[in-house]
Amino acid sequence: MILQQLWPMSMEEGLGEIVPKNPYRPSVVDYLRNGSCEIWENDKAVDYIKREFVKFSQEKPREALLFLKRFETKNKPLEKIWRRGVLGSLKELKDFIALVRDNMAGDLFILYISDEEQVKGAVKRRVYELRDGDHFFSSSNKVFINTVKKLFPRIKDYVNAVRCEDLDKMPSVAEMKRRYKNYIYASGGYNKVETLESYAKKTGYRFVGSKVKTVTGILKGQTACPGKVIGRVKLIYTTNDLVKVKKGNIIVSPMTTANFMPALQKAAAFITDEGGIACHAAVVARELKKPCLIATKVATKVFKDNDLIEVDAGAGWVKKIK
């Protein structure tokens, strides 16, 4: 949960000189269900961030390029830690968290601007160049997971449920087990063991997926990373399913999480039911340069294990091959 906490902090508290505080909160609701973290974005919060990014890029292109240059420079100490993959002390972990939080604005800028057609010219070209080599989210999360497992081995099976607040006083294994099954985290201090349905009813929020366009024999979704591939389906719901994935398979999942990485690295493509352009599957797909289709809404219901499917993520569709 650590990386997922830093993301809404950046989206809500302001992104340096380019975006003031976000009036829409919570920007993200994280739901941990059986070890898998679903990321539910507040559409209004995301739209606000995108508008501000576009405005900054169009009105101050030179400043935008300088902002991206600073992002590169500030990533240098992070690169050293990413290569290590693990830290040796709690102080080092806390210092690393601060570095990631400080530079997340740049990575969010790359994620959102890369798909905005209004931004052109030198800024857009630089964003594409940085995106092609970007591994900010996946590498940072790898360090978080490896270090927490090393420092707190008794809860290593439930590392996804660890928050920043837990580092000074780690909860019991029993508490972590409860979180692992059903747990809601949202900015403003909301964190409870409960279902998404319960949270939505209590707060009055509506949780909706992207609209799905379908034509005969073809399921459509949103392009997260372009590319074409044919392969066998492997349905992935929890980490227990990861053993099914072999090199060249296509992962079909409600949503992906950081602890799916061993399978994602083997897979030829990813397809998810839910997600936005900055969801875990989309970010990892761009970093690994693998075709990815998100927000299909029903892929896990349409396809079965070992179905042979064709994916054209650039065109936004997937279909079963008979």
CATH label of the domain that carries residue 279 = 3.50.30.10
What pLDDT does 215 receive?
47
What pLDDT does 14 receive?
66
Task: Give pLDDT < 70 ranges for the chain.
Answer: 14-17, 208-216, 278
Residue 292 β-bridge partners: 225, 270
What pLDDT does 35 receive?
78
| DSSP class per residue in 85-118 | ---SSHHHHHHHHHHHHHHHHHHHHHHHHTT-TT
**Domain-embedded: residue 266:** yes
Residues 13 and 47 in one domain: yes
**Domain-embedded: residue 263:** yes
Residues constituting the chain: 322
> Under a CB-based contact definition with an 8 Å cutoff, are residues 128 and 116 in contact?
no
> How many domains, the chain?
2
Q: Which two tokens stand for residue 224?
A: 């997260």
Residues 229 and 120 in one domain: no
What pLDDT does 112 receive?
84
- Give the C-alpha separation, 303 to 103, whole Å: 39
Identify the domain containing residue 113 by its residue range.
Answer: 2-197
Residues 58 and 177 in one domain: yes
Residues 139 and 44 in one domain: yes
The one-character DSSP state at 48 is: H
| DSSP class per residue in 211-238 | P--EETTEEE-EEEE--EEEEEEEE-SS
Residues 146 and 228 in one domain: no
What pLDDT does 209 receive?
56
What pLDDT does 16 receive?
64
